């Protein structure tokens, strides 16, 4: 990543902005991070109009627009984000979020605790998020630590129904359902204490007990 001390956006070949970092004026040690796209440039061979004194005039100088959404927020030493895909357009973060390889997915699909009707179709339903979940499940050894009956009972306790066949957990044949089952096995599904609804979460952080 290149940081510019002085920004000259007239030459797009030399200045390709990937992100904008802004220090919060409200909260100390907070940095707001926005993704920047080439479509946000203004006045570079395009017909850009601005409204001034109730009249539209063509923009005569170079400029750019700011996005209305954030990609990430840095609060002190805590990094918050929602979309891994957007985040990695700015930072090299792949080494922090490991994915299961094709070989590991094949090994996982053959686990004696899982029943997959069509392994070929299962491979086609694997997404980037599913790969991360599989990797985490394999590293936690949850399928080795708990019997199928115990896993199904834990799922029922939070309002999630898992099917079993020949003492193996049946893996469904849709992307969303697979994600839900694997999120549960990865310990990312919980039941609301008051609503008693079952939720999925993308973030796991243990509470600090004082």
Domain definitions of the chain by residue range: 19-92, 102-200
Q: Please state, in angstroms and rounded to a whole number, the distance separating the CA atoms of residues 84 and 62.
A: 31
In sequence order, the 6+-apart residues with CB closer than 8 A to the CB of 17 are: 7, 9, 36, 64
- The token pair at 150 is 């115990």
Residues of the chain with pLDDT under 70: 1-15, 43-48, 59-62, 94-97, 203-210
Angle, in degrees to the nearest 10, between helices 128-140 and 102-109 = 60
Q: Please report the pLDDT score of residue 121 as a whole number.
A: 95
pTM of the complete model beyond 0.75: no
In total, the chain counts a number of residues equal to 210
| pLDDT for 14 | 45
pLDDT at 127: 92
In whole angstroms, what is the distance from residue 108 CA to residue 100 CA?
9
Q: Determine the pLDDT at residue 4.
A: 60
User: Looking up tokens 């204490």, which residue turns up?
Assistant: 193
Tell me, what's the pLDDT at 65?
74
Q: How much is the pLDDT for 35?
A: 84
Nearest CA-CA partner of 178 in 132, 139, 112: 132
Cβ distance 71 to 81 under 8 Å?
yes
**Which H/E stretch holds residue 184?**
helix 175-185
Spatial distance between the Cα atoms of 48 and 59, rounded to a whole number of angstroms: 6
Q: How far apart are the first and last CA of the chain?
A: 39
């Amino acid at each position: 990543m290149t940081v510019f001390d002085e920004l000259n956006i007239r030459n797009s070949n030399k200045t390709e902005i990937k992100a904008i970092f802004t220090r919060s004026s409200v909260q100390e040690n907070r940095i707001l991070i926005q993704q920047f796209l080439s479509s946000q440039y203004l006045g570079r061979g395009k017909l850009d109009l601005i409204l001034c004194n109730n009249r539209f005039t063509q923009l005569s100088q170079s400029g750019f627009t700011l996005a209305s959404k954030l990609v990430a927020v840095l609060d002190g030493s805590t990094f918050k984000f929602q979309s891994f895909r957007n985040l990695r357009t700015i930072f090299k973060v792949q080494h922090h979020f490991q994915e299961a390889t094709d070989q590991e997915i094949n090994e996982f699909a053959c686990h004696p605790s899982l029943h997959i009707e069509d392994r070929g179709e299962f491979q086609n339903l694997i997404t980037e998020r599913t790969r991360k979940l599989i990797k985490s499940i394999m590293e936690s050894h949850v399928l080795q630590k708990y019997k199928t009956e115990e896993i199904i009972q834990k799922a029922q306790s939070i309002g999630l129904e898992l099917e079993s066949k020949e003492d193996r957990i049946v893996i469904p044949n849709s992307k969303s359902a697979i994600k839900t089952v694997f999120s549960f096995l990865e310990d990312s599904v919980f039941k609301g204490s008051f609503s008693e609804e079952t939720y999925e979460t993308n973030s796991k952080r243990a509470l600090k007990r004082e």
